[in-house]
Structure 1
Amino acid sequence: MSDLPAISLAVAAEAGEWGDVEAIEALTLTALEAAVQDLVRQEHQPFPADPPEVSLVLADDAMMADINEQWRNQPKPTNVLSFPAFPLVPGGVPGPMLGDIILARETIEREAQDLGKPADEHITHLIIHGFLHLFGYDHIENNDAEKMEAIETRILASLDLSDPYGDTEPV
Structure 2
Amino acid sequence: MGILITNRKNQKKLALEKIKKTAQIILNALECPDGELSLLITDDLEIEIFNQDYLNRQGPTNVISFPMQQGDFSEITPYLLGDVVISMDTAQREAENMNITIEERFNELLVHGILHLFGYDHEKSVEDNARMEDKTFEILDIIKFSSFNPGEQP
Q: State the 1:35 CA deviation.
A: 1.9
Picking from 112, 115, 120, the partner of 2:103 is: 120
- State the 4+ residue runs in structure 1 displaced beyond 3 angstroms: none
C-alpha separation in 2, matches of 1:36 and 1:152: 12
Q: State the 1:28 CA deviation.
A: 2.4
C-alpha separation in 2, matches of 1:83 and 1:126: 14
Q: State the 1:52 CA deviation.
A: 2.8
Q: CA RMSD in A?
A: 2.2
In terms of fraction of residues, the more helix-rich structure is 2
Picking from 76, 81, 85, the partner of 2:64 is: 81
TM-score (norm 1): 0.74
Question: Could you tell me which amino acid in structure 1 is paired with residue 126 of structure 2?
Answer: N
> Aligned residues: percent identity?
29
Picking from 118, 135, 141, the partner of 1:157 is: 141
TM-score (norm 2): 0.81
- The equivalent of 1:99 in structure 2 is 82
Question: Could you tell me which amino acid in structure 2 is paired with residue 125 of structure 1?
Answer: E
C-alpha separation in 1, matches of 2:9 and 2:143: 28
C-alpha separation in 2, matches of 1:58 and 1:153: 22
C-alpha separation in 1, matches of 2:69 and 2:143: 28
Q: What 5-or-longer segments of structure 2 have no aligned partner?
A: 146-154
Q: What 5-or-longer segments of structure 1 have no aligned partner?
A: 1-6, 41-46, 162-171
C-alpha separation in 1, matches of 2:9 and 2:99: 25
